[in-house]
Amino acid sequence: MNLPVDTAKLQNEMDTLAGFTQVEQTGRKGERAVTRVVFTDDDMRARAWLKSLYEDAGLAVREDAVGNTFARWIGSEPDLPAVGTGSHTDAIPHAGMYDGTLGVLGGLEAIRAMQRAGVKPRRSIELVMFTSEEPTRFGIGCLGSRLLAGTLDPARADALLDKDELPLRQVREAAGFAGDLTQVKLPADYYSAWAELHIEQGPLLECDGLQIGVVTHIAAPASYRFTIEGFGGHAGALLMPHRRDALCAAAEIILAVEHAALATAAIDTVATVGTVKVHPGAVNSVPSRVDLELDVRDTDPDRRDTVMAQVRKAIADVQERRGVTVREEEVNADAPATSSRAIVASIEKACESLGLSHRRMVSRAYHDSLFVARIAPVAMIFVPCRGGVSHRPDEFATVEAMTDGVRVLAETLRDLAG
C-alpha cells in the first residue's frame, strides 16, 4: 500500500516555519536566511504553530521541563514502548531552513500519510521536537536530548549561562517551562526504535546521484574552550623582543589543530576552531588574552583522543616559547553511536520497495539521535542537499528529495510500529 505524502503541504509548512525569524528571505529561489535561537520570541511562536499542527493531526501533545515537545499518535497497544522520530527546529544565526526542521515536519507528514492510508499502528508513534540542538545560546549542543537521555547533569544544565549571563533555569521558566530537570530523563524502555530524517549536510549523495542515505554511525563530538593569557600593551611602545602576544600564540595553536587532524589521514577526523575572541580587541593594542573554542569529531573516539594529545603537546611548546599560559576546559566529549542493524534493514527495505537508490554512510555531523541512542536503538535517513551546504542561507533540498525522505520514513515507521 503506497502511503500518500502531501508534497505541497510539506513544502508550504517548511516555508511557513522558515518565516519564524527576523531575517528576511534572500538570494536564489528556495534560499532563506533563518535565525531562530532557543526560547526567543521566534522560537516560541514556532513552537505554538507546531503544536497547532500536531493537534490538527489528532496527536496527544506534552512538553517537559526543558521544552522538549512530544506529539504521540496512540497505537492499538499503547502500553508498548513507542516508535520515535523527530529532530529540532532551532537554527543558528543566518542559517538555512532545512536543518532539523525536515525531521520535525517530515515526521509529522509521515504520520499524516499513514493516517490517510488507514494504517493502524500497534505501537504508538511519537514525534519529538528537541530543545536547543544548536549550541548557540547556552554553549552546548543537543541540550534537550542530552537531558532526555540522562547524559547531562540537570543541575549543571540549569546553571548554564547565555551571553547575557542568564542561567538556563531562569530562561526556561520565563518561557513557560517550569519543573525539575531530573524528570526529563526517559526510561530505558520508552522507545522500541527511533528513526530520524535529516538533510545530509554533506555532498556525497548529490555527487553519487543517490536519493537516500542510510546512516550506520554518528560521529563522536568533543568541544573544548582554551584561554590564552599573554601580556598586552601599546602597539607602538611594546617592542617586539619583549612581546608575549596572545593572538600570535593562538594562531600557532589553531594551525596545530589543523595539522593534528590532517595527520590522522582519516577522512572521518575533523577539527575546527570556530570562535576567536581577542582582548582588548583594538588595532593599536597588543592582544593580552584570547579565547578559543575547538570542535573535534570522529567516528573513532581513540583517534579523536590522539588528535587532542597532539594539540596539547603543541600547546605546551607554544607556552614555553612564547611565555604565555593556556587554560583548557572540556565542554563535552561524547561517545559515537552505531545504528541498529534492524532499523537500518527496515530503512533499506523501504528504499527498495519504493524504488529509491540508496547507500550506507556515516554522519559526520552529530544529531539528537546520538543521544537517543543511549536509551533506544536508532538509525537515520539522509536526503541530499545542494552542494552539501548547511548552516548557511543557501542550504537547500528539493521538494522531491524531501518527499522521498518522508516516504522512506513513513514506511520505516509503519514497519517498526507493527
Residue 168, amino acid: L
pLDDT tens for each residue of 155-176:
999 999 999 999 999 999 999 9
Half-sphere exposure of 414 (CA within 13 A, CB side): 22
pLDDT > 80? residue 31? no
Nearest alpha-carbon partner for 246 in 346, 337, 327, 151:
327
pLDDT > 90? residue 32? no
φ, ψ (nearest 5 deg) of residue 101: -65, -35
Q: Which pLDDT score, from 0 to 100, does residue 220 have?
A: 83
CA distances to 241, 245, 247, 293 from 252, in Å: 18, 11, 9, 14
Q: Which pLDDT score, from 0 to 100, does residue 278 have?
A: 98
pLDDT > 80? residue 23? no
Which CATH topology does 7-219+336-417 take?
Answer: Aminopeptidase (3.40.630)
Beta bridge mates, 83: 125, 193
Annotated binding site: 88, 99, 134, 198, 391
Helix (H) or strand (E) holding 272: strand 270-279
pLDDT > 60? residue 30? no
Give, in words, the CATH class of 221-333: alpha beta
Domain residue extents for the chain: 7-219+336-417, 221-333
- When pLDDT is averaged across residues 43-50 and rounded to a whole number, the result is 98
Please, what's the largest Cα pairwise distance for the chain? 79
pTM for the model: 0.90
- When pLDDT is averaged across residues 191-211 and rounded to a whole number, the result is 97
Residue 133, amino acid: E
Q: Which pLDDT score, from 0 to 100, does residue 366 have?
A: 87
Start-end of H helices in 329-396: 341-354, 369-372
pLDDT > 80? residue 25? no
Give me the DSSP letters along 106-134: HHHHHHHHHHHTT---SS-EEEEEES--S
Q: Which pLDDT score, from 0 to 100, does residue 22 have?
A: 77
Annotated binding site for Zn(2+): 88, 99, 134, 198, 391
- When pLDDT is averaged across residues 395-414 and rounded to a whole number, the result is 98
- When pLDDT is averaged across residues 71-88 and rounded to a whole number, the result is 98
Q: Which pLDDT score, from 0 to 100, does residue 303 have?
A: 95
Nearest alpha-carbon partner for 49 in 89, 81, 83:
89
Q: How confident is the model at residue 205 (pLDDT cuts 50, 70, 90)?
A: very high
Distance between CA atoms of 116 and 295, rounded to whole angstroms? 44
Q: How confident is the model at residue 232 (pLDDT cuts 50, 70, 90)?
A: very high
Share of the chain above pLDDT 90, in %: 94
Angle at 137 between CA 133 and CA 143, to 5 degrees: 35
- When pLDDT is averaged across residues 62-91 and rounded to a whole number, the result is 98
Q: How confident is the model at residue 118 (pLDDT cuts 50, 70, 90)?
A: very high
